[in-house]
A = this chain, B = another copy of it.
Amino acid sequence: MGNILSPKNAIVVKLQSEIFNPGDESNQFIKQADGGGAAVTFTGLVRSLADNPIKKMTLEHYPALAQKQLENMAQTALERFGLIKVKVIHRYGAMYPNEPIVQVMSLSAHRQAAFDGANFIMDWLKTDAPFWKFEEGENGAEWVAAKTVDDNAKDKWK
């Protein structure tokens, strides 16, 4: 799929349980800008709201499918928006409030492509990457329900 358009390292997808440093990852990503003038980073954090405090979140995943789906999404974004490179980091396992869960980074010659690339990947990731959130808080523990708004978010890329 599209190997001609995507040189080595144009796409990196990393699944890991360890916490990562969002800023360090961004700096690493833009260090070799390769003529790209526009970088967009999306970082998703574990939320803990006042009316529903969370103590711990556990992300279950289906490793082989998750890797494959994220690579496909990154490749599609790279080609569709003419990006220079894309990196996706997604954690699994136990994490805690304010920790990063996911980071999507895109680099492009033009700003709109960089925005669209990261946005596109996040929209697809929400519904088509096999991760499931389990939250433990003061009000009990539960599997997070999927949102209809996430199903609809993909429609804008049709």
Contacts and interface: CB of A to CB of B under 8 A. Distances in A.
Interface of A: 21-27, 30, 33, 35-50, 98, 109, 111-112, 114-115, 118-119, 122, 153
A39 B43 contact: yes
A124 B10 CA distance: 30
Copies in the complex: 2
A57 to B, nearest CB: 11
Nearest to A38: B44
A41 to B, nearest CB: 4
A36 B27 contact: no
10 contacts: A21-B23, A23-B26, A30-B45, A36-B47, A37-B44, A37-B46, A39-B42, A40-B43, A42-B115, A111-B119
